């Protein structure tokens, strides 16, 4: 069967472009099953998806199916793409994190162009699904876990697709199907934005046993499944030796959960001589599963930069509200050891969790200044449906983010209020912006570090856009309740507004 696997327009994301690895995995299993697959990532394409659909039709080899992936802020774009594809007669299926949380929403009467949705990891389910379509059968008759559909007026939501136990049994993602030259490097804020970097990403494990209250991990879940070191090394070798990677991003939820395994991986990368390409832990690693040796081994294996989720500078907030499962001393140690190993560091900090006050947010800023990472990423808390944080707000506050794009991290606006008489969404935005100013602007050493880099000047438009967003802010970064927005009180309430 001829299939398009697509990631919809990513206006919600920044100028940074990363490959959508989930559909890379699906492309690999479908290709292995003999199907003809292309990957369409709207974030980097020069043409609309209709160009490829029409071109294939004109060549007498039309696409029959489009599979679209969506995180929550992208769901509107996914619907638009499905609507377009339906006009050309393609069968449409949507999957990814948002569909795993709210599988029925997209099958409602307002989205008649969505034929199916999928909940959970789909490497097994999609092959079965496509096999049914190809044989002219109805996939809904095959009882495929994870597959959701309409039957008459009813929406049938099936149990979530079981997680794949043996990740080594999967083929490597179809990295070769991505138009890799169109993606940027992974950390442009400090490197300058290379629009033609060959930046690949790799997942060495799936899932995370921690339960941070803000974290939405509907697909990969609360257990941890690691690939064997040899399996990861084989993929790494492919990226370095055959696909010409110039940068590799490890995008696991927690790649270093098992310290000996993490060290083994680094040792094997060195032994194989594939430590020539710089790599980063794009989304961070966990501070309490590190030691000095790990960072030295990472450096030897070619790592350039490590990121850590720090979140908050107040121990009570960390333990009781965020439930991060790590102490401030562990944070300090990890930063120190990483710097001693001559690795660049990134810190991720969240502003505006429930119970955050002026004092706790000030402690967060102080901690960022003390740790002094090369890159500090300050984010405003976003209550994704399905998280513990969402429940906490339902019990003691109100969400006023009405549209799914409001959940984009880079949208950077206050999204909820707590009714405890202490939580102030406007103060949250103020402190968040203050953090950027105090970290990047008000320290002469920092400013000099920035402007003395060639990339600062080469990448001036991007730098200026980021500066405007972080230091000055847009009008809509004020708390929306001030503009009279109605609170959203439940997931279904939120869904009905769409
Ligand atoms: C790498 C990553 C990125 C990268 C690449 C994005 C991408 N599309 O892969 C970058 C940095 C660009 C990114 C950006 C964003 N991300 Co992100 N990202 C991740 C991360 C760490 C890993 C993703 C991954 O590779 N997962 C592993 C693969 C195997 O899983 P998967 O992608 O979900 O795909 C599987 C299933 O979902 C399913 N599936 C997926 N697509 C489809 C399609 C069809 C048709 C079917 C049938 C099935 C199916 O099958 C796949 C294989 O099993 C996850 C955390 C996580 N653990 O998932 C967050 C995560 C997905 N990101 C998240 C968010 C919020 C975003 C942003 C919206 C941030 C923002 N700006 O606000 C943007 C969206 C940009 C975009 N275009 O998607 C949230 C999503 C939460 C939610 N409720 O939607 C997550 C879960 C992080 C978190 N804990 O909060 N992200
Ligand atoms: S934030 Fe990181 S450590 Fe916490 S649950 Fe999510 S993936 Fe795990």
| Residue 492 confidence class, pLDDT cut points 50, 70, 90 | very low
152/256 same-domain check: no
Determine the pLDDT at residue 475: 46
Which of 4, 28, 97, 106 maximizes ligand 1 atoms within 8 Å of its Cβ, making it the mutation to test the pocket? 97
220/150 same-domain check: no
pLDDT tens-digit readout, 30-47: 999 999 999 999 999 999
Q: For residue 166, what is the DSSP state?
A: -
What angle separates helix 358-371 from helix 328-340, to the nearest 10 degrees? 20
Give me the torsion for CA of 282, 426, 322, 261, rounded to 10°: 10
222/321 same-domain check: yes
User: What ligand 2 atom has the least distance to the C-alpha of 215?
Assistant: 6
Decide which of 138, 156, 174 is a domain's last residue. 156
306/408 same-domain check: yes
Domain count along the chain: 2
Cβ of 227 below 6 Å from ligand 1: no
Measured in whole angstroms, the distance separating CA 83 from the mean position of its chain's CA atoms is 25
| Residue 303 confidence class, pLDDT cut points 50, 70, 90 | very high
Determine the pLDDT at residue 483: 32
| Residue 488, pLDDT above cutoff 60 | no
Question: Is residue 52 in a domain?
Answer: yes
Q: Are 50 and 66 in contact (CB under 8 A)?
A: no
Q: Which residues contact 253 (CB under 8 A, 6 or more apart)?
A: 205, 206, 207, 208, 217, 220, 283
Determine the pLDDT at residue 391: 94
The residue whose CA is least distant from atom 66 of ligand 1 is 71
pLDDT tens-digit readout, 198-253: 999 999 999 999 999 999 999 999 999 999 999 999 999 999 999 999 999 999 99
CATH number (domain holding residue 9): 3.40.50.280
Ligand 1 centroid, distance to 193 Cα (angstroms) = 22
| Residue 333, pLDDT above cutoff 80 | yes
Question: CA–CA separation, 183 vs 64, rounded Å?
Answer: 27
pLDDT tens-digit readout, 53-98: 999 999 999 999 999 999 999 999 999 999 999 999 999 999 999 9
Determine the pLDDT at residue 192: 67
234/373 same-domain check: yes
The residue whose CA is least distant from atom 53 of ligand 1 is 121
Question: Is residue 404 in a domain?
Answer: yes
21/126 same-domain check: yes
Pick the range with the lowest mean pLDDT from 238-247, 263-272, 283-292, 471-480.
471-480
Question: CA–CA separation, 305 vs 298, rounded Å?
Answer: 9
3-state secondary structure 192-224: CCCCCCCEEEECCEECCCCCCCCCCCCCCCCCC
| Residue 291, pLDDT above cutoff 60 | yes
Cβ of 383 below 6 Å from ligand 1: no
Ligand 2 centroid, distance to 325 Cα (angstroms) = 9
HSE-CB for 401 with a 13 A CA cutoff: 25
The residue whose CA is least distant from atom 45 of ligand 1 is 67
With CA atoms as reference, report the closest residue to 435 among 356, 321, 330, 343: 356
**Which string of b and e fits 149-170 if b means at least 16 CB within 10 Å?**
bbeeeebebbebbeebeebeeb
Q: Are 91 and 65 in contact (CB under 8 A)?
A: yes
Q: Are 128 and 187 in contact (CB under 8 A)?
A: no
Q: Which residue has the higher pLDDT, 353 or 487?
A: 353
CATH number (domain holding residue 261): 3.80.30.20
Question: Is residue 352 in a domain?
Answer: yes
Determine the pLDDT at residue 185: 84
- The pairing of beta strand 397-399 with beta strand 225-226: unpaired
117/231 same-domain check: no
Question: CA–CA separation, 322 vs 212, rounded Å?
Answer: 6
| Residue 493, pLDDT above cutoff 50 | no
Which of 309, 384, 388 maximizes ligand 2 atoms within 8 Å of its Cβ, making it the mutation to test the pocket? 309
| Residue 357, pLDDT above cutoff 50 | yes
Torsion sign across C-alpha atoms 346, 255, 72, 45? positive
pLDDT tens-digit readout, 150-205: 999 999 999 999 999 999 999 999 999 999 999 988 876 556 677 788 999 999 99
Q: Are 306 and 346 in contact (CB under 8 A)?
A: yes
Local structure of 168: helix, strand or coil: helix
Determine the pLDDT at residue 400: 84
| Residue 13 confidence class, pLDDT cut points 50, 70, 90 | low
Pocket lining for ligand 2, CB < 6 angstroms: 208, 210-212, 215, 217, 253-254, 286, 309
225/95 same-domain check: no
168: left (phi over 0), alpha (psi -120 to 50) or beta: alpha
| Residue 10, pLDDT above cutoff 80 | no
Question: Is residue 168 in a domain?
Answer: no
First vs last C-alpha separation in the chain: 33
Q: Which residue has the higher pLDDT, 460 or 347?
A: 347
The residue whose CA is least distant from atom 4 of ligand 2 is 212
Determine the pLDDT at residue 442: 79
pTM for the model: 0.92
407/325 same-domain check: yes
pLDDT tens-digit readout, 440-487: 887 777 767 766 766 566 656 666 665 665 555 544 444 433 333 333
User: What ligand 2 atom has the least distance to the C-alpha of 214?
Assistant: 1
Residue 131's domain spans which residues? 2-156
Question: Is residue 174 in a domain?
Answer: no
Kindly identify the ligand whose nearest atom is closest to the C-alpha of 222. Answer: 2
Question: Is residue 451 in a domain?
Answer: yes
345/483 same-domain check: yes
209/137 same-domain check: no
Question: CA–CA separation, 73 vs 411, rounded Å?
Answer: 10
Question: Is residue 165 in a domain?
Answer: no
Cβ of 9 below 6 Å from ligand 1: no
148/195 same-domain check: no
Determine the pLDDT at residue 16: 73
Question: CA–CA separation, 59 vs 36, rounded Å?
Answer: 15
**Which string of b and e fits 85-112 if b means at least 16 CB within 10 Å?**
bbeeebbbbbbbbbbbbbbbbbbeeebe
Determine the pLDDT at residue 464: 63
User: What ligand 1 atom has the least distance to the C-alpha of 125?
Assistant: 47
Q: In what order do the strands lie in the sheet with 116-118?
A: 36-41, 2-7, 65-69, 91-95, 116-118, 147-151, 154-156
pLDDT tens-digit readout, 364-423: 999 999 999 998 999 999 999 889 999 999 999 999 877 888 887 666 678 899 999 899
Q: Are 33 and 127 in contact (CB under 8 A)?
A: yes
Average pLDDT of the segment spanning 298-321: 97
Question: Is residue 164 in a domain?
Answer: no
């Amino acid at each position: 069967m001829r299939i398009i696997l697509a990631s919809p327009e990513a206006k919600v994301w920044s100028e940074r472009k990363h490959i959508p690895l989930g559909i890379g995995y699906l492309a690999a299993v479908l290709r292995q099953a003999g199907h003809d697959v292309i990957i369409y990532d709207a974030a980097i394409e020069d043409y609309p998806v209709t160009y490829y659909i029409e071109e294939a039709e004109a060549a007498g080899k039309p696409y029959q199916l489009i599979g679209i992936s969506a995180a929550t802020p992208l769901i509107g774009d996914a619907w638009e793409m499905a609507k377009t594809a339906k006009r050309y007669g393609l069968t449409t299926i949507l999957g990814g994190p948002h569909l795993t949380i709210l599988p029925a929403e997209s099958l409602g009467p307002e989205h008649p162009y969505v034929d199916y949705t999928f909940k959970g990891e789909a490497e097994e389910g999609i092959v079965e699904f496509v096999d049914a379509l190809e044989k002219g059968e109805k996939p809904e008759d095959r009882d495929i876990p994870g597959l959701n559909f309409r039957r008459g007026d009813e929406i049938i939501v099936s149990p979530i697709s079981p997680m794949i136990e043996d990740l080594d049994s999967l083929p490597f993602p179809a990295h070769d199907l991505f138009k890799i030259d169109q993606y940027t490097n992974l950390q442009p804020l400090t490197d300058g934005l290379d629009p033609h970097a060959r930046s690949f990403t790799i997942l060495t494990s799936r899932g995370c046993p921690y339960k941070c209250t803000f974290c939405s991990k509907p697909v990969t879940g609360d257990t941890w499944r690691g690939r064997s070191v040899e399996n990861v090394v084989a993929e790494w070798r492919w990226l370095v030796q055959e696909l010409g990677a110039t940068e590799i991003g490890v995008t696991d939820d927690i790649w270093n959960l098992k310290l000996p395994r993490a060290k083994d991986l680094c040792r094997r990368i060195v032994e194989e001589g594939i430590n020539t390409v710089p790599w980063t832990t794009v989304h961070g690693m966990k501070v309490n599963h590190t030691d000095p040796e790990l960072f030295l081994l990472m450096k030897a294996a070619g790592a350039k930069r490590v990121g850590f989720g720090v979140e908050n500078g107040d121990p009570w907030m960390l333990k009781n509200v965020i439930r991060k499962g790590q102490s401030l001393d562990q944070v300090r140690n990890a930063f120190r050891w990483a710097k001693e190993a001559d690795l660049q560091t990134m810190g991720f900090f969240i502003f505006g969790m429930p119970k955050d006050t002026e004092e706790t947010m000030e402690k967060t800023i102080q901690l960022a200044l003390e740790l002094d990472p090369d890159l500090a990423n300050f984010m405003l808390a976003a209550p994704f449906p399905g998280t513990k944080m969402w429940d906490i707000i339902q019990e003691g506050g109100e969400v006023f983010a009405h549209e799914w794009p409001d959940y984009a991290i880079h949208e950077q606006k206050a999204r909820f209020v707590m009714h405890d008489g202490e939580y102030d969404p406007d103060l949250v935005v103020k402190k968040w912006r203050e953090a950027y100013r105090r970290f990047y602007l008000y320290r002469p050493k920092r400013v000099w570090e920035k402007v003395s880099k060639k990339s600062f000047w080469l990448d001036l438009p991007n730098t200026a856009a980021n500066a405007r967003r972080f230091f000055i802010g847009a009008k809509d970064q004020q708390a929306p309740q001030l503009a009279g927005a109605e609170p959203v009180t439940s997931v279904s309430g939120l869904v009905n507004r769409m």
